[in-house]
């Protein structure tokens, strides 16, 4: 596996070029072009804010910030998972004609989504500053750490499901439904306090719960997060990364036959 990691490292320029191509091509031909990177999350935010502030009357202060700082990292994670699961199938021609470590494809996809998230965070910071909420430097120090952790988790799961999807094409559809349910099981639109105490222990097994709460601690509560709460998420991220790569290496041998 170590050799494989170095092999992938040798293809870093290919990864960078594919990421650039993906980002350029995302909204090519669209009138608003790259602005859709920002418009998409802003529109989702507007809809959720209207529903939960005006219709369902959440009593959370500045709900749009409460939601936004959680929604952006969630969009990165769920789009990595759902979109990344079909990336091998989607690039069947490339896989069949050129030799390269096949992991390059899911890595490229997740990295592209990650860069998208970073650009959206520019909007997040803008919203925080314009609304008067502001930013505190000490909690912000932890932002790269939680972003890295989320990236590792997303990459591990994408490696796993992208390999499985080649053999079991229903996987991408199942993941779509799972991600939809997972979104509601993660404290994105509501605070953790709504979950009854008796379910907290099981609920805490959701790695995205701790990650989203950390983003919220840093940006909404503006306090230094409790890193001990991230330990289960860290363990799961490493577990999925190793498992994802092992499964990928095993299943990769049959890609050419299946595609």
Residue 122: CB minimum distance to other proteins, A: 22
210 contacts 142 by C-beta, under 8 angstroms: no
CA distance 22 to 61: 38
Nearest CB to other proteins, comparing residues 93 and 193: 193
Least separation, in Å, of the C-beta of 64 and other proteins? Answer: 14
Q: What residues from 176 to 205 belong to the interface with other proteins (CB under 8 A)? A: 191-193, 195, 200-201, 204
CA distance 75 to 69: 11
Identity of the residue, 96 or 223, whose beta carbon is nearer to other proteins in the bound complex: 223
Torsion over CA: 204, 113, 148, 212 (sign):
negative
Q: How far is the CB of 98 from other proteins (least distance, A)?
A: 23
Give the nearest distance from C-beta 222 to other proteins in angstroms: 7
Residue 206 interacting with other proteins (CB under 8 A)? no
User: Residue 229, CB half-sphere, CA atoms under 13 Å: how many?
Assistant: 18
Binding mask 59-88 for other proteins (x = CB under 8 A): xxx----x----------------------
**Nearest CA among 113, 135, 117, 110 for reference residue 38:** 117
Query: Could you give the CA distance from residue 37 to residue 120 in angstroms, rounded to a whole number?
Result: 7
Contact, 220 vs 66, CB < 8 A? yes
- Binding residue count for other proteins, defined by CB under 8 A: 30
Identify which of 233, 225, 228 has the alpha carbon closest to the alpha carbon of residue 142. Answer: 225
CA distance linking residue 17 with residue 108, whole number of Å:
9
- The answer to whether residue 225 forms part of the interface with other proteins (CB under 8 A) is yes
Q: How far is the CB of 189 from other proteins (least distance, A)?
A: 12
Using the rule CB under 8 A, is 224 a contact of other proteins? yes
To other proteins, the closest distance from the beta carbon of 111 in angstroms equals 18
Task: Give the other-Cβ count within 10 Å of 174's Cβ.
Answer: 14
227 to 256, contacts with other proteins by CB under 8 A? 227-229, 231-232
Over the window 30 to 59, marking each residue x when it contacts other proteins by CB under 8 A and - when it does not, the resulting string is -----------------------------x
Only one of the segments 27-35, 142-150, 237-245, 250-258 lies at the binding site for other proteins (rule: CB under 8 A); that segment is: 142-150
| Category of 201 on φ-ψ map: left (φ > 0), alpha (ψ -120 to 50) or beta | alpha
Q: Is 221 in the site for other proteins (CB under 8 A)?
A: yes
> How far apart, in whole angstroms, are the C-alpha atoms of residue 257 and residue 259?
6
Whether residue 154 contacts residue 80, with contact meaning beta carbons closer than 8 Å, is answered with yes
> Cβ closer to other proteins: 118 or 227?
227
Rounded to a whole number of angstroms, the minimum distance from the CB of residue 31 to other proteins is 39
Q: Please name the residues in contact with 175: beta carbons below 8 A apart, sequence gap of 6 or more.
A: 81, 82, 85, 161
Binding site for other proteins (CB under 8 A): 2-3, 6, 59-61, 66, 138, 141-142, 144-145, 191-193, 195, 200-201, 204, 221-229, 231-232
């Amino acid at each position: 596996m170590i050799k494989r990691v170095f092999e992938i490292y040798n293809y870093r320029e290919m990864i960078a070029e594919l990421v650039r191509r993906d980002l350029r091509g995302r909204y090519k031909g669209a009138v608003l072009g790259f602005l859709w990177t920002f418009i998409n999350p802003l529109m989702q935010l507007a809809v959720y804010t209207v529903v939960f502030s005006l219709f369902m009357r959440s009593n959370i202060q500045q709900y749009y910030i409460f939601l936004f700082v959680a929604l952006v990292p969630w969009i990165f994670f769920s789009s990595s998972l759902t979109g990344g699961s079909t990336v091998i199938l989607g690039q069947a021609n490339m896989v069949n004609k050129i030799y390269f470590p096949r992991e390059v494809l899911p890595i490229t996809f997740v990295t592209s989504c990650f860069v998208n998230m970073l650009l959206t965070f520019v909007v997040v910071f803008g919203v925080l500053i314009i609304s008067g909420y502001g930013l505190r430097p000490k909690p912000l120090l932890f932002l790269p750490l939680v972003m890295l952790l989320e990236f590792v988790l997303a990459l591990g799961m994408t490696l796993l499901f992208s390999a499985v999807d080649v053999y079991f094409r229903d996987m991408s559809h199942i993941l779509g439904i799972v991600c939809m349910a997972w979104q509601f099981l993660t404290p994105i639109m509501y605070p953790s306090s709504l979950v009854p105490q008796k379910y907290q222990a099981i609920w805490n097994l959701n790695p995205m719960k701790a990650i989203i709460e950390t983003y919220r601690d840093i940006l909404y509560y503006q306090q230094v997060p409790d890193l001990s709460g991230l330990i289960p998420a860290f363990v799961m991220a490493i577990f999925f990364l190793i498992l994802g790569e092992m499964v990928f290496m095993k299943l990769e041998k049959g890609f050419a036959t299946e595609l």
